[in-house]
Chains A and B, each alone.
Chain A
Amino acid sequence: MNGGRKRRRRNRRLKARRGPPIHKLGEDLLLEIFLRLPSLATLVRAALTCRAWRHAVASSPSFRRRFRAAHPPPLLGLFFEPHGPVQAPNTPVFPSFVPARRRGRDLTAAVRGGDFFLTSLEDLPNEGPCWDIVDCCRGCVLLMNWDDESLVVFNPLTRWSADVFDLGHEDMFDGRRGHYAQVRPRLLISDDMLLAHDECRIRATVFSSDTWEWSVLPWVDVPASSGDDESWLQDDGGMQANGFLYWVYEDWKYLVSLDASTMEFCVTELPHSSGYSSFCVRETKDGTTCIVLSDDSDDLNIGVLMPTRGDDGVEKWVLDQIDLLDTELTRLLNDLVDEPSDLLVLAVCDGYVYLSTSEMYHDPQTPCWFLSLCLETMTLERLFRRTFDTPVHPYIMAWPPSLVGNFGRFALEGAPSH
C-alpha cells in the first residue's frame, strides 16, 4: 500500500520532469503532425500552445513552404466595395464583408475574432465615416476616405491600423502632356503607391511608411493605346504577384508591370484575342506568375497565360491552357443556376482563381454564385451566393509575423526549451 503510493509519487515526479508525452516527439515529427492540420488558422492556434511549438514553425522556412503547397489559401471571405460613396458625401459608408462558409472551425474563429465590419475605423480621429476599399494584400486592406481624400492601411485580424495619410501628391501631374488621370492607389508590401498617366506616359508615386512622405518618380514612355479612350489603363482588380504590380490596357494589347523592388516599369505585349471579359495576374502555387482570363465567347472558358521567352529574346505571354468549365460547373452548381452563361475572374491568388457566375452590374437584383477554382486540379468549389453589384476583394489570411520568424520578444530565443 505504502510502496504503491511511493511508486505513484515517483512516477508523477518522473512524468513532471519529462513533460507531457507529446513533447517526446522531436521537432520533425511535430511538424509532420502540423502539416496535416486543415488550415493556417488551425496551425496558428496550435503553434501558440507553447514556446517549443511556436519556435518549431517560426524557425523552419521549409516547413512553411510545404504547408503552403499542401493547403488552399486561407480565404476568409470577400470584401464588397460600398455603393457609390462619392455620390453621397457625409453619409456613413463602409465596405461589406461576406465570409466564405463551411471552411473549418478555426477559419471561422478568425472571422469571428477579427474586425471585418471595420468598426475600428470609426475610432480614427478627424475622419468622416466614409470608407471605400481599394486594395487588399498580405492580410491588410487599403481604405480610402473619399470625403477627406485620405488613405489608411488596416489589418482586420489584428485590428491594427496605421496612421491616416493624405491621398496623392500635388507634384504628381507636373510636366504632363494632354489628358491625364490617376488610377486607383495600390498597396505594396509596406508602402502605398499611386499610378498616374497622361496620353502616352505613366508615372508612379510612392508613399513610404518609413519616411511618411510621397516620392514622385519620373514619367516613363509606353506604347500608345489603339483606342481613343482617354483613360486607356484599366483601373480595377488588385493585380499583384511575386513583387510586381500589373495594369492592363483598355484595348487588351499590352500589360504594364512594375517591379516593386526597383520601381521599374516594363510593358509586354499580350496575345491577340477577339475579346477578354476578365483578367487577373497572380502567382501560382509554385511561385511562377501567370495570367488567368475568361473570354467573351459563349463557352465557359478559363485560360491561363504563362510568360515565355521567344526566339528573339523578348518575353511574351503565351496561352498555356484553356479549360472548358461547362461540365464541371454544371456538376457543381447542379440545378441551382438555370444557365450559368457568364464566368468572371475576380482574383487569382496562390494557385486559386475566384470566380462569379455573372458579370458585375449585369443583374444586381438576382444573386449569383461566387466560386473558387484550383488551377492545379481544375476543381471548383462554391463559396456563397449573393448579388454582384460592386467590385470585390478576396481577403486571404496572412501568416502572422510571430510564426514566420523570431521577432520582438522572441528575437533572442535560441534552442527550443524542450
Chain B
Amino acid sequence: MEVDKGKGEAEETRKVAEADRDTVTLKSSDGKLFEVSKEAAARLSTVLAGMIAGGSIDDNGTDLKQIGSEALENVVDYCNKHANSIPSAALISSSISFNTAPFKEPEEWERKFVDRLSHDALFDLVEAANFLGMERLLDVTCHKISEMMKGKSPDQIREVFNIKNDYTKEELEEIRQELAWAFYDD
C-alpha cells in the first residue's frame, strides 16, 4: 500500500516536471532524438496531442518506431516552421469557402517546404503525417504529389514516378478503346 502510494507520487512529480517543459523529445526508428515545441506538436498532430494529454510522453525520447530519422526530422522541421508562421489572410479566407475547396491551398512556405524534398522523402513524410494524425501536413504533401500528376498522360505519369506499365496487351487495348483521349501526350 505504502509502496504503491510512493510510486504514484513519483509518477505525479515526473508528470509535473514534464508538464513544465515546453518541448517534447521524439525518437525515430533508427534511434535519433528530436526536440519539438510541445504547443506545436499538440496543435498539429492528433496523435502527439493524445500522448501529451495522456502523459505517455517519455522524457528520454518517445519512441516512434514507424518513422525514420529523415522523415521525423522533416516532421519536426515542419512543426517548428508552422509555429513561427503567421496564418496568412489567404488561409483564413479560404477556410470560409470550404465547400468549393475542401482542401486549403498550401501557403507559400509550405510549398517551398515540400518542393525541396526528394520523392522518397516526400512519400516517407506522407506516411509519417498519416501515422501522427497531422491533417495539415498530410494535406500539403498529398497536394504536392497530386500536382505532379496533373496535366499528364499515363505515360508521362509513369515516367515521373518510375512506374512500370503492368497492363497486359489485351487489357491495354480494352482501356484504349474506352478512353483513347486519356493517352494522348500534350
Contacts and interface: CB of A to CB of B under 8 A. Distances in A.
A32 B153 contact: no
B138 A32 contact: yes
A169 interface: no
A161 to B, nearest CB: 13
Contacts of A22: 119, 123, 145, 161-163
Contact of B149 (A42, A69, A400): A42
Given A49-B157, A376-B100, A377-B100, A112 B184 contact: yes
A29 B146 CA distance: 12
Given A50-B163, A51-B167, A105 B150 contact: yes
A158 B103 contact: no
A112 B181 contact: yes
B178 A402 contact: yes
Interface string B126-139: 11001000000011
Contacts of B139: 36
Interface in B56-107: 97, 99-100, 102-103
B150 A106 contact: yes
Where chain B touches its partner, the secondary structure class is: helix
B182 interface: yes
Interface in B103-159: 103, 119-120, 123, 126-127, 130, 138-139, 142-143, 145-146, 149-154, 157-158
B12 interface: no
Contacts of B97: 377, 379
A45 B174 contact: no
Contacts of B174: 402, 408-409
Interface residues of A, number: 51
B126 A29 contact: yes
B143 A29 contact: no
A401 interface: yes
Nearest to A70: B102
Contact of B158 (A50, A105, A110): A50
Contact of B175 (A41, A48, A69, A109): A48
A119 B4 CA distance: 86
A105 B156 CA distance: 14
A204 B93 CA distance: 51
Interface in B158-178: 158, 161-168, 170-171, 174-175, 177-178
Given A109-B184, A374-B100, A379-B100, A33 B142 contact: yes
B175 A42 contact: no
A21 interface: yes
Given A36-B146, A109-B184, A417-B166, A45 B152 contact: yes
A51 B119 contact: no
Interface in A2-24: 19-24
A45 B127 CA distance: 24
A21 B163 CA distance: 9
Contacts of A408: 174
A117 interface: no
Given A44-B179, A50-B165, A408-B174, A105 B151 contact: yes
A99 to B, nearest CB: 13
A338 B175 CA distance: 49
B180 interface: yes
Contact of B179 (A32, A36, A158): A158
Contact of A44 (B102, B165, B182): B182
10 contacts: A22-B145, A25-B123, A29-B142, A35-B103, A50-B165, A104-B151, A109-B186, A113-B184, A158-B179, A159-B180
Top 8 A-B pairs ranked by shortest CB distance? A113-B181, A105-B151, A36-B146, A20-B162, A48-B154, A33-B142, A22-B161, A46-B149
Given A23-B163, A48-B154, A374-B99, 10 more contacts: A22-B123, A33-B142, A33-B145, A49-B161, A51-B166, A109-B181, A113-B180, A158-B178, A159-B180, A377-B97
Interface of A: 19-25, 28-29, 32-38, 41-42, 44-46, 48-52, 69-70, 72, 104-106, 109-110, 112-114, 157-159, 374, 376-377, 379, 400-402, 408-410, 417
